[in-house]
Chains A and B, each alone.
Chain A
Amino acid sequence: MNIAPRYLGRGSWLARRDPRVLILVVALFIFTVLQVWDLRILLGLLALAVVYYRSAGIPWRYIRRNWAVVFVFIGTLVVVNTIIAGGTTETVSLDEAHVIFRLPLIGTPMSAESLSNGVTLFFRYLTMATIGFPVAFAVAPSDFGIAFRRLGVPDKFAFGVDLTFRFLPSLAADFQRTVDAQRIRGYDWSAGAGRGVLTRLRRSTPVLVPTVVNAIAGAEDTIDAMDLRAFGTGRRSWLRELRYDANDRLLLLAFAALLFAFTVLGFAGITSELYVFPFLLDAAGA
């Protein structure tokens, strides 16, 4: 069983950037997108996100399924939100909305505003997911600890992040070993389909409990090793050094400028107003 983050973007232009850049860009860009409700502008941001994503060089065939899950999740959330909103938005009440039709059976009104809101919400989520994928596949797992440290996270917790990634393969192997050991004793991890939820949950305990207890008990060696190396008694040094180069600074400056610009535009009401599609207004007879 191989459970580990996949470093699929290895060697790409984006993967050669300082890992802090990828983390900071996600934060800067997400807060930029959150201020935009005009789909016309949002599509521009999506195009930028796609260019950024392509620079990570992530092979499509390895992440098709990930994207399918993203689309299904976002689509479901948006559809449910649109139905529950019942023709209204945050700023438009049902009296002010331009109702186009009502859903059969439940009679929920669908207005030009709520439908435009739904489409915009879908593209907001899609844009944020697009900018988030490179963090999943274009940052070396061993770089997360040092990246968070250089971003101001205290030494101990940054090391904790590093340690978490290091534990992934060994704990996954322990988990598989536990499943195999229990299987030899007659337990079938995959059996139980069609039985109740509680039964299946209880059936997970012969695997879950030994894995957890063994992992905690086995931690004593790691704790002793760290204590013997005076962990936490002084400032920690890291093997990897992170330095911004010209491209890193340029990228960060660009996204910071983007955030600043859109914050100003948002406060001015230019990007924060929902764009209602004219053809939907026409359909509503507006």
Chain B
Amino acid sequence: MTTTTLDRDRLWEVSSRTIVYSAIGAALYGILLVAQVPIPGTTVSVRPAFALVPFFGYAFGPIVGFFTGLVGNMIGDQISGWGALTSWNWSIANGLVGLIAGLAPLYLSRWTNGSLRDRAIGGAVAGVIALLIGFLFVFTDNILQGIDIGTILTTLYIPVIVADIIATVILVPILVYAWEPVKAQLGR
């Protein structure tokens, strides 16, 4: 399976490679969630680890991206003691981010099939698009918990989007630049 130049036909392939990359992505995301950079003057923290979700989706496909976000967020909740299933809709939202980023060959083919620079930029763009759409799922808290839409927007959605966009835009291109030469060496 190639990375960042996935054929559309192979986007949904589930092989041993898919499972192992998914497990690694989820484990790394869960582990590295402990590292956070607070934004001064706010209650929001930038999570560098979040960049792994769109990166794994963009590099290895929508299934890997979905698993990384979904299971990675569950692992993070499990480690913190919140419980893997307590915020299941947030785990799904994280998974959707990875899934949508993994579909980049469908809507960003010019970038994913271009030069290394194009692919790095495409990763950032795919990550931002995936974030904005994927985290819309957290508005289900309005139906599930009865939380006001305005509260979800101002307290949850916007802070998470802002923080994660910063991490995504900076770190995803760096990860793509770092991974591509290694991938070429491995012959993947």
Q: B9-66: which have CB < 8 Å to A?
A: 14-24, 26-28, 30-32, 34-35, 37, 39-40, 43, 46, 48-49, 51-52, 55
B178 within 8 A of A: yes
Select from chain A the residue with minimum beta-carbon distance to B16. Answer: A226
Q: Is the CB of B85 within 8 A of A135?
A: yes
Contacts of A34 in B (CB 8 A): 144-145
Select from chain A the residue with minimum beta-carbon distance to B85. Answer: A26
A37 within 8 A of B: yes
Q: Is the CB of B37 within 8 A of A216?
A: no
Contacts of A160 in B (CB 8 A): 19, 22-23, 26, 67, 71
Max count, chain A CB within 10 A of own CB: residue among B15, B37, B39, B77: B37
- Closest Cβ of chain A to B66, distance in Å, is 10
The answer to whether residues A213 and B71 also contact, given A90-B146, A171-B31 and a CB cut-off of 8 A, is: no
Q: Is the CB of B20 within 8 A of A226?
A: yes
The answer to whether residues A84 and B24 also contact, given A121-B145, A220-B186 and a CB cut-off of 8 A, is: no
B114 within 8 A of A: no
A204 within 8 A of B: yes
Q: Is the CB of B170 within 8 A of A202?
A: yes
Q: Is the CB of B20 within 8 A of A132?
A: no
Contacts of B16 in A (CB 8 A): 223, 226-227, 231-232
Q: A109-131: which have CB < 8 Å to B?
A: 117, 121, 124-125, 128-129
Q: Is the CB of A197 within 8 A of B20?
A: no
The answer to whether residues A164 and B23 also contact, given A80-B155, A132-B82, A223-B17 and a CB cut-off of 8 A, is: yes
Q: Is the CB of A211 within 8 A of B28?
A: yes
- Closest Cβ of chain B to A65, distance in Å, is 8
Max count, chain A CB within 10 A of own CB: residue among B32, B77, B80: B32
Q: Is the CB of A172 within 8 A of B31?
A: yes
On chain B, which size bracket covers the interface?
35 or more
- Closest Cβ of chain A to B37, distance in Å, is 5
Of A26, A69, A232, the residue contacting B83 (CB under 8 A) is: A26
- Closest Cβ of chain B to A133, distance in Å, is 6
Q: Is the CB of B14 within 8 A of A156?
A: yes
B113 within 8 A of A: no
Q: Is the CB of A167 within 8 A of B22?
A: no
Q: Is the CB of B148 within 8 A of A81?
A: yes
On chain A, which size bracket covers the interface?
35 or more
B151 within 8 A of A: yes
Contacts of A163 in B (CB 8 A): 19-20, 23
A277 within 8 A of B: no
A217 within 8 A of B: yes
Contacts of A77 in B (CB 8 A): 147, 151, 155-156
Q: How far is the CA of A232 from the CA of B32 in the complex (A)?
A: 30
The answer to whether residues A84 and B154 also contact, given A66-B80, A132-B82, A208-B171 and a CB cut-off of 8 A, is: yes
- Closest Cβ of chain A to B87, distance in Å, is 9
B166 within 8 A of A: yes
Q: How far is the CA of A97 from the CA of B77 in the complex (A)?
A: 38
Of A5, A63, A223, the residue contacting B20 (CB under 8 A) is: A223
Q: Is the CB of A168 within 8 A of B30?
A: yes
Q: Is the CB of B78 within 8 A of A136?
A: yes
Q: Is the CB of B81 within 8 A of A133?
A: yes
A85 within 8 A of B: yes
Select from chain B the residue with minimum beta-carbon distance to A159. Answer: B19
- Closest Cβ of chain A to B132, distance in Å, is 20
- Closest Cβ of chain B to A198, distance in Å, is 7
Select from chain A the residue with minimum beta-carbon distance to B22. Answer: A160
Residues in chain B within 8 A of chain A (CB atoms): 14-24, 26-28, 30-32, 34-35, 37, 39-40, 43, 46, 48-49, 51-52, 55, 67, 71-72, 75, 77-86, 144-148, 150-151, 154-156, 166-167, 170-171, 174-175, 178-179, 182, 186
Residues in chain A within 8 A of chain B (CB atoms): 3-6, 23, 26-27, 30, 34, 37, 63, 66, 69-70, 76-77, 80-81, 84-85, 90, 117, 121, 124-125, 128-129, 132-137, 144, 156-157, 159-161, 163-168, 171-172, 175, 197-198, 200-202, 204-205, 208-209, 211-213, 215-217, 219-220, 222-223, 226-227, 231-232
- 7 CB < 8 A contacts A-B: A157-B67, A201-B166, A201-B171, A208-B51, A212-B178, A212-B179, A231-B16
